[in-house]
Structure 1
Amino acid sequence: MVRSARVLLVVLLTASALLGPVVPATAGTAWEYPEFPYPATTYQEPFRGQFHFSSQSGWMNDPNGLVFANGLYHFFYQHNPHGLEWDTMHWGHATSPDLVHWTQKPIALEPGVHPGTLFSGGGVVDRDNTSGLKTGPLDPIVVFSGTNGVSIFVSNDNGRSFQAYDKGRKQIEIPEESRDPKVIRDDARGQWVMVVWSNRGGNGVDVYTSPDLLHWTFGSRYAADWLFECPDLFPLPLAGDRRWVLTSATGEYVVGTFDGTTFRTERPQPKKMNLGTTYAGGTFYAAETFTGAPDGRMVQMAWQGGNRGSSWTGNATFPVALGLVDTPDGPRITRTPVAELGSLRADSRTWRNETVRDGHDPFAGILADTYEITATFDVASATAGQFGFALHSRGDGSADRTVVYDRAAGTLDGKPLPPTGGEVSLRLLVDRGQLEIFSGDGLFSVADNVNFDSAAVSQGIRLFATGGQVRVKNATFTRLSTSWGTAQPTLESTLAGPWHAAGGSWTDVGAGKQAQVTGDGFYLSASTAGDAEYQGDVRLGTARAAGLTFRATADGAGYTANVDTSGVVKLWRPGRDIATYPTPIAADTTYHLRVRTTGPRIQVWLNHGTAPVIDATDDGYASGRFGANAYQGSATVQNLNTGPAGFTSFTSGPWTAVGGTWTTTPDGVRASSAGDGFYLSDREGTDFTYEGDVSVTNGAAAGLTFRAAADGAGYTANIDTDGLVKLWRPGRDIATYAAPVVEGRTYHLKVQTAGSRIRVWFDHGATPVIDAADTTYPAGRFGLDAYAGNAKAQNLTIT
């Protein structure tokens, strides 16, 4: 984590000079979490890397908590989403199925929602639930952050949201200055291992071990002047054995052994794994490895601070697989771009045994913007003093960057690289704002930031030899396509991509996918079906109508079930309104629609009502795509899912939201509310047993509301993260019970009423935890309540 006064001063002064006054970042609120503050982009801005990750907007620095979890790579990073300079650190988040195609996701850790400094740290996937923090079907992602001690945060929804363990209290107390905890699984000993940088009279790392990720024991300290910030500790195979590597933020490292508590090395003089500018804000800093990567690979990414654009600052190096080889200088790390880069390769050209000299350049005439070059040069027979590549060259002989091998000096790009067997090989990854150079079977690597001019007249490549000639034994040029735009940042859906718009503009916002259309606009998935059950949430802004589209062609022609501000739920297809259901429809209100198709029969449900509001037949379209529709204005859609999963509840007519935003995911109904937000059925009762499952994702409270009026005024039995089960009504807390209520955990509440007597059971307990009397509300509606945060409810029953 960039934090030293000297480094921060340099970074901030440079940023201020380039970008103007520093604008402080802001903290968020639980009911608006997770935040997605990013303006739309096509990722085509000048100098924006096309296959190097950069944040959609804002400042980024250190990679954090890199994990492979539940089928996705998760890249978290230090982030100021509200400005182009370092300020008020958040944890940004992006995901990828293959380490190449990244999708920006909402903020992972957010000041104001998650306690602490939220500086750099590590993450793991607790596949065996050693922590006991697992609450659902997915493996928990557990991440570590904090300064002068370590706090723990956990996600049970694959990074969609995080909760602070033990309210963010430090689980490791370190009295000295410390930061940047990195954790790895030590399978050989059945434990977790953490290294934390600390200043105990100088630079070094403290080593801790744990059986469960929660309880940590100090094991040892490894002190070294070079070992400053962002340490990483990981094993790599070497000659049939396993060695351990300890690294620092500057990319320096030593190789040694680890006995479960103590790291030792016989070669304490560090080596550098990358020869870029290895200071904070340079071209290679704060590298971190992924935990849990498939096939046991150790994959690494680092921060490149030198890349700046109109809306972002900083990018990450392209991911590499690390190896370890024996050399005359001892064991050394190798860095090789991951093989998944091949998914971006387009057209390619190859040459063999070409002699490069004045007047003969095999690359003459090639114009390219983002690409890969590999080449092997016969140095032993060369007469040229220097040879190499001029990248993004122009007709006047100038170029944005040259990569030169100097025979006399024995250097590549100014860094020592003696020939091997009389040959020098190199591999170049050329992006719009980045250049990475590899050689020596991965022993040599340089990461650089270069503002390449992408204009057509500046896209030349020149292979040159100065003062003689050089034979190229083999060379390959390959164009690399963009890696952006292949998944959904904010739209939650079980439908397959790629998605495409057919009319209007569809952009990502925190609440889902937002449309801006003048007529009909469709957003369509690649998933198709004939008979199916399909549901989703729609919210009208200025739009006249919005809804779910199904059995559609690629241009949207098919069926749509929508809500329309003329006061109807409507089922229609091009040329025909099939059926309508009259009901008040308002702007800035979320409606849940569910559609079931069985041959020509089409049924439509509204807001979890038990009976369909439309039951009609039409044979215009037998099958087709699933998607969404908006008409004349702006609207937002979310949670577009097929299958019967959703909100399971008692028999009722359509539900009504009174405050807050209520949406439906496959695992229940969710709420976001700044104050009290109610979700009310039309079912009423006097004496009954009412029960269900509720949780507070982030924030204060959630519960069951009963005997309520249409505005929610009635009784509520809730769970409160202050550590309470509470029975209350407007103006009075009737009774409370102390209970360990934790964010992210699901709890079962049961309420039983008999006249003025109200009893509340907590988490399947045998006896009520509250037994009270109140006469204010003798009867009324059943519903749900969420207060000052995000909440979830499921499995509601009345007997």
Structure 2
Amino acid sequence: MVRWVRLLPIVLLAASGLFVPGTTASAGTVWDYPEFPYQPTSYSEPYRGQFHFSSQSGWMNDPNGLVYANGLYHFFYQHNPHGLAWDTMHWGHATSPDLVHWTQKPIALEPGVHPGTLFSGGGVVDKANTSGLKTGALDPIVVFSNTDGVSIFYSNDNGRSFQAYDEGRKQIDIPADSRDPNVVWDADHQQWVMVVWSNEGGNGVNIYTSPNLLKWTFASRYAADWLFECPGLFQLPLNGTPQWVLTSASSQYVVGSFDGKAFHTDRPAPKVMNLGTTYAGGTFYAAETFHDTPDGRVVQMAWQGGNYGSTWTGDATFPATLALVDSPDGPQITRTPVAELASLREDSKSWRNQTVRSTGNLFDGIKADTYEITATFDVRHATAARFGFDLHTRADGSADRSVVYDRAAGTLYGKPLAPRDGEVTMHLLVDRGQLEIFGDDGRFSVADNVNFDSSAQSLGIRLFATDGTVRLTNATFTRLGTSWGTGQSTLESNLAGPWHANGGAWSDVSGGKQAQTAGDGFYLSASTGADAVYQGDLRLDTAQAAGLTFHADASGAGYTANIDASGVVKLWRPGKDIATHQTPIAKGRTYHLTVRTDGPRIRVWLDNGADPIIDATDATYPSGRFGVNVFNGTATVQNLNTGPGGFDAFPSGAWTPASGTWTVTPAGLHGTAQSNGFYLSDRTGSDFTYEGDLSVTNGVATGLTFRAGADGAGYTATIDTSGVLKLWRPGKDIAVHDAPIVEGRTYHVRVRTAGDRIQVWLDNGADPVIDATDATYSSGRFGVNAFSANTTAQHLTIG
């Protein structure tokens, strides 16, 4: 990542008259991480790629830490989500099931939450848990960033949140200008290998090795004038034998070997794998390859800085599969679009054995905006001086861009391309703001940004030849559909997609999926079921009601259990209110509903209470879709899940938030609070044993609260990431025990009270770590506390 790139977009956009200074990017806060600062978009703006990834809004540059983890491709990238220029780098995040259909996700690494300079870096999936960082069932994603040294961050929830290892301290210190760590697994030597660009005595990379991703040893340095920024190191087979490839940000590379400590090559003069403008802000820069792809492919994406619109700057090249082939001057990389492009293909038309002349146009009558063209020309008997395609043509003969082969110069699009076996091949990907050209079985590739005019009068294509003829061996035109709109950005759910709306406008916000409706609006998954447990979180903003819909058809007709601002929880179906429960419902507060169906019996629980508040029977709809409903206004829904997961706690009536936001995920109770937040049961006690599992996802502290009033005032035993377990009450820290509390780790806390004596155990130790006395509160409620943090609580018991 080039540091002076911050100046580049200002120059480009100002020159175009498009730059409008926006809000300066700023650091975030841990309690509301992860941030999702994006305004809704249909991704249909002029010049917005329909199958090239761009950030939902804001500035993007280098790809970072590309991995395939836990069933998804993860694309992280350098990002300013608050403006169109380089400023205060975040790591943006998008996911895809297939490398084609991308979904914008919340911010992955956020300044103010994650320490250090969050510049470019790499990532891996630690499937063997060599780091020991794994805490659950998912494989950890481990990423590397910072400048003049390397810091480590990791995620145990498939990229939804990241923690800083060792509080973000640099695990490698480099006493020189350095950045852009990239990591790969070296199977031959059973170790991890890192390359980091540094300017120690000139351009080059420092090479480090590690058995566990955490402790790194300097192994060697490879110096080369061409090796500037964003290095990559990976293996590709050549004739069945693995070779090591070392790359730079400007797409230069050399092929050689790695002996476990040093990289060697007998051909030190670099080749270039892409012939676009390979500088920061150009059309191909800072490429990275995906780690741990399921089929072993090496797939690459790069930054295209030349694309921008009114709400975003920059995009990524379409994913390309890399391979190595022999050439007269040594091994050469080939780049070909990933096969998953086929998922976007719509109607097509083909030609074979046609003569292309200076008159006529085989593509006449085709109108297209985003498409693919493959063509092979036999040039052995050609007389045409030039031939190729005019793209986005108009009736007056003008075109937005021409892709021309010049026979005399031996160039395609102005770049060298010699015929192979007397033929010239072209493979064009035409998007709204992007043009990628491949040829000669991937030996030739050019990435470009082109502002194509997508208006109806500018969608023609012309196949031409000048000053003679050329034989077209074969050609295929294929229309390509959009890759956007198939995933859920912020809605956490185990329900299958695709989802669809029937009524209302549904958009992604930081708290989940938000609806705006004038009447009934339904948002429905593709998951169906009969007998099931279904639960979710609901918040009325301005809406009259919001609820869980189940046993429904595609229109939403089925059952809905909702919260209603009139002061009821209601179970209804079209034409009938089946049952109601009177209870105050406040706007702006999150409520958790759980529904269980057993044949015609339907039960509804509110806010994690032990007993159902509705127990009714109705046999109208025996099965159907799961979804949500919002009525007459704005509401937000989140954590829509079927199955047994949820908040496991002692029997109680409905829980009540005293402050903070409290939701229920499959992993347990999730709390966020800017300062002190409390979530309280209606169970009270004097002398007892109270215990549970607690985790600070990000932030300061969480704890078990007991002998408390309705506002949370009472005792709390907290785990605090400053490195302590603390027993406190309002106005006083009663006792403190030093303990290395780490973000993202789960700790078991047990409290025992006997009169004014309070004992606290940590992680099932034999002896209490706190044994104190305090007589301020003799009895009160049980609950959970969060302080300036994202937290999780689970398996709460009282004995």
Fold match by TM threshold 0.5: yes
Aligned partners of 2:471, 2:455: CA distance in 1, in Å? Answer: 31
Q: Which residue of 2 aligns with 1:400?
A: 400
Aligned partners of 1:410, 1:87: CA distance in 2, in Å? Answer: 42
Q: Which residue of 1 aligns with 2:209?
A: 209
Equivalent residue runs for 1:408-427 within 5 Å: 408-427=408-427
Q: Which residue of 2 aligns with 1:304?
A: 304
Asked whether the 8 Å contact 2:21–2:83 carries over to 1, the reply is no
**1:160 aligns to what SS in structure 2?**
coil
Deviation at 1:337, TM superposition (A): 0.5
**1:19 aligns to what SS in structure 2?**
coil
Q: Which residue of 1 aligns with 2:579?
A: 579
Deviation at 1:310, TM superposition (A): 1.4
Aligned partners of 1:379, 1:490: CA distance in 2, in Å? Answer: 53
Cα deviation, 1:579-622, whole Å, max 9, x if unaligned, reads 11111110110000000011111000000100000001112211
Deviation at 1:13, TM superposition (A): 2.6
AA matched with 1:686: S
Q: Which residue of 1 aligns with 2:182?
A: 182
AA matched with 1:408: A
Kindly indicate whether residue 451 of structure 2 is the aligned counterpart of residue 459 of structure 1.
Answer: no
Q: Which residue of 2 aligns with 1:540?
A: 540
Deviation at 1:764, TM superposition (A): 1.1
Equivalent residue runs for 1:586-625 within 5 Å: 586-625=586-625
Aligned partners of 2:217, 2:759: CA distance in 1, in Å? Answer: 44
AA matched with 2:728: W
Q: Which residue of 2 aligns with 1:13?
A: 11
Asked whether the 8 Å contact 1:15–1:84 carries over to 2, the reply is no
Q: Which residue of 1 aligns with 2:557?
A: 557
AA matched with 1:333: I
Q: Which residue of 1 aligns with 2:69?
A: 69
Q: Which residue of 2 aligns with 1:28?
A: 28
Q: Which residue of 2 aligns with 1:521?
A: 521
Q: Which residue of 1 aligns with 2:697?
A: 697
Kindly indicate whether residue 99 of structure 2 is the aligned counterpart of residue 99 of structure 1.
Answer: yes
Q: Which residue of 1 aligns with 2:110?
A: 110
Aligned partners of 2:315, 2:791: CA distance in 1, in Å? Answer: 34
Asked whether the 8 Å contact 2:93–2:108 carries over to 1, the reply is yes
Asked whether the 8 Å contact 1:16–1:22 carries over to 2, the reply is no
Q: Which moved more, 1:15-24 or 1:452-461?
A: 15-24
Asked whether the 8 Å contact 1:93–1:108 carries over to 2, the reply is yes
**1:226 aligns to what SS in structure 2?**
coil
Aligned partners of 1:579, 1:753: CA distance in 2, in Å? Answer: 42
Aligned partners of 2:21, 2:330: CA distance in 1, in Å? Answer: 48
Q: Which moved more, 1:211-220 or 1:353-362?
A: 353-362
Aligned partners of 2:552, 2:6: CA distance in 1, in Å? Answer: 54
Deviation at 1:22, TM superposition (A): 5.9
Deviation at 1:201, TM superposition (A): 1.7
Asked whether the 8 Å contact 2:304–2:315 carries over to 1, the reply is yes
**1:330 aligns to what SS in structure 2?**
coil
AA matched with 2:509: V
Asked whether the 8 Å contact 1:307–1:433 carries over to 2, the reply is yes
Asked whether the 8 Å contact 2:370–2:430 carries over to 1, the reply is yes
Asked whether the 8 Å contact 1:716–1:728 carries over to 2, the reply is yes
Q: Which residue of 2 aligns with 1:483?
A: 483
Kindly indicate whether residue 223 of structure 2 is the aligned counterpart of residue 235 of structure 1.
Answer: no
Deviation at 1:758, TM superposition (A): 0.2
Cα deviation, 1:242-265, whole Å, max 9, x if unaligned, reads 111100000001111100110011
Asked whether the 8 Å contact 2:693–2:795 carries over to 1, the reply is yes
Identity among equivalent positions (%) equals: 74
Q: Which residue of 1 aligns with 2:343?
A: 343
Aligned length: 797
Aligned partners of 1:411, 1:646: CA distance in 2, in Å? Answer: 62
Aligned partners of 1:726, 1:138: CA distance in 2, in Å? Answer: 31
Aligned partners of 1:595, 1:242: CA distance in 2, in Å? Answer: 55
Asked whether the 8 Å contact 1:15–1:85 carries over to 2, the reply is no
Aligned partners of 1:389, 1:562: CA distance in 2, in Å? Answer: 58
AA matched with 2:10: L
Tell me: CA distance 1:740–1:317, structure 2 relative to 1, closer, same or farther (3 Å): same
Aligned partners of 2:505, 2:51: CA distance in 1, in Å? Answer: 25
Cα deviation, 1:420-445, whole Å, max 9, x if unaligned, reads 11110110000000000000111100
Aligned partners of 1:14, 1:411: CA distance in 2, in Å? Answer: 28
Aligned partners of 1:240, 1:668: CA distance in 2, in Å? Answer: 49
AA matched with 1:14: L
Asked whether the 8 Å contact 2:7–2:86 carries over to 1, the reply is no
**2:341 aligns to what SS in structure 1?**
helix
Deviation at 1:230, TM superposition (A): 0.3
Aligned partners of 1:664, 1:190: CA distance in 2, in Å? Answer: 41
Deviation at 1:789, TM superposition (A): 1.1
AA matched with 2:514: Q
Q: Which moved more, 1:142-151 or 1:565-574?
A: 565-574
Q: Which residue of 2 aligns with 1:666?
A: 666
Asked whether the 8 Å contact 2:700–2:787 carries over to 1, the reply is yes
AA matched with 1:126: D
Deviation at 1:456, TM superposition (A): 1.3
Q: Which residue of 2 aligns with 1:498?
A: 498
Q: Which residue of 1 aligns with 2:53?
A: 53
Q: Which moved more, 1:729-738 or 1:355-364?
A: 355-364
Q: Which residue of 2 aligns with 1:643?
A: 643
Aligned partners of 1:497, 1:14: CA distance in 2, in Å? Answer: 40
Q: Which residue of 1 aligns with 2:124?
A: 124
Aligned partners of 1:432, 1:260: CA distance in 2, in Å? Answer: 45
Cα deviation, 1:643-688, whole Å, max 9, x if unaligned, reads 1210101010000011110000111010110011101000011000
AA matched with 1:26: S
Deviation at 1:793, TM superposition (A): 0.4
Provide TM-score, normalisation by structure 1: 0.99
Deviation at 1:16, TM superposition (A): 4.3
Cα deviation, 1:33-66, whole Å, max 9, x if unaligned, reads 1010100011100010000000000000000000
Aligned partners of 1:576, 1:188: CA distance in 2, in Å? Answer: 68
Q: Which residue of 2 aligns with 1:783?
A: 783
Aligned partners of 2:567, 2:669: CA distance in 1, in Å? Answer: 24
Deviation at 1:712, TM superposition (A): 0.4
Q: Which residue of 2 aligns with 1:764?
A: 764
AA matched with 2:428: L
Aligned partners of 2:727, 2:768: CA distance in 1, in Å? Answer: 12
Aligned partners of 1:242, 1:603: CA distance in 2, in Å? Answer: 60
Asked whether the 8 Å contact 2:537–2:591 carries over to 1, the reply is yes
**2:326 aligns to what SS in structure 1?**
strand
Deviation at 1:296, TM superposition (A): 1.1
Deviation at 1:375, TM superposition (A): 0.4
Q: Which residue of 1 aligns with 2:259?
A: 259
Aligned partners of 2:10, 2:269: CA distance in 1, in Å? Answer: 32
Aligned partners of 1:494, 1:279: CA distance in 2, in Å? Answer: 42
Deviation at 1:10, TM superposition (A): 3.5
Deviation at 1:401, TM superposition (A): 0.4
Aligned partners of 2:20, 2:312: CA distance in 1, in Å? Answer: 14
Asked whether the 8 Å contact 2:608–2:654 carries over to 1, the reply is yes
Asked whether the 8 Å contact 1:645–1:667 carries over to 2, the reply is yes
**2:41 aligns to what SS in structure 1?**
coil
Q: Which residue of 2 aligns with 1:166?
A: 166
Structure 1, unmatched stretches of 5+, are: none
**1:31 aligns to what SS in structure 2?**
helix
Tell me: CA distance 1:10–1:528, structure 2 relative to 1, closer, same or farther (3 Å): closer
Structure 2, unmatched stretches of 5+, are: none
Aligned partners of 2:124, 2:36: CA distance in 1, in Å? Answer: 24
AA matched with 1:250: S
Kindly indicate whether residue 254 of structure 2 is the aligned counterpart of residue 245 of structure 1.
Answer: no
Cα deviation, 1:721-747, whole Å, max 9, x if unaligned, reads 000000000000000000000000000
Asked whether the 8 Å contact 2:31–2:699 carries over to 1, the reply is yes
Deviation at 1:8, TM superposition (A): 3.9
Q: Which residue of 1 aligns with 2:136?
A: 136
**1:261 aligns to what SS in structure 2?**
coil
Aligned partners of 2:52, 2:604: CA distance in 1, in Å? Answer: 45
Aligned partners of 1:200, 1:29: CA distance in 2, in Å? Answer: 36
Aligned partners of 1:162, 1:697: CA distance in 2, in Å? Answer: 8
Q: Which residue of 2 aligns with 1:272?
A: 272
AA matched with 1:136: G
**1:342 aligns to what SS in structure 2?**
helix
